[in-house]
Amino acid sequence: MSIQIKTGSLDDFFSSVKETAREIDNKQTITRKNTIWVEAEDLMKLLKPERTALLQFLRKENRIVFSKLLTALQRSPSSLNNDLKLLSKYGLIHIRKEINPGHGYHKVIEAGFGKDTLEFKVEI
């Protein structure tokens, strides 16, 4: 199974939703759509080499603590946080805080797509 990441307008999104509604109205089996709609500007940001490397790393690890991710990717905290914020915005990753016994909390990053393939599609 793959997850499609598409650019499009609000009308494109609603036409996709209407297609699903028609399937429901016609009592058809609903076709699962693994589509994430993103703004064109953000899609270009997602395709930066650092972010694609981060997604590939998370595909292998699936779950990692922020400090270990910093070390593994040799990134600065601010640049990594910016990347994580954008990826989180579209549900490609999940970030949560967990108790780190005796040391407060630490940030845990998990892939939101598991082992699925990410397929980027742009229509101009």
Lowest mean pLDDT among 35-39, 83-87, 93-97: 35-39
Q: In this structure, are strands 63-65 and 105-111 parallel, antiparallel, or unpaired?
A: antiparallel
pLDDT tens digits for range 22-69: 888 888 887 777 777 777 777 888 888 898 889 889 888 888 999 999
> Any idea how long the chain is?
124
Residue 80 has pLDDT above 90, yes or no: yes
Q: Lay out the sheet containing 93-99: strands in order across.
A: 63-65, 105-111, 93-99
Structural domains in the chain? 2-121 (1.10.10.10)
Residue 116 pLDDT: 76
Q: Is residue 80 packed enough to be buried (19+ CB in 10 Å), middle (13-18) or exposed (0-12)?
A: middle
Confidence of residue 123 (pLDDT cuts 50, 70, 90): low
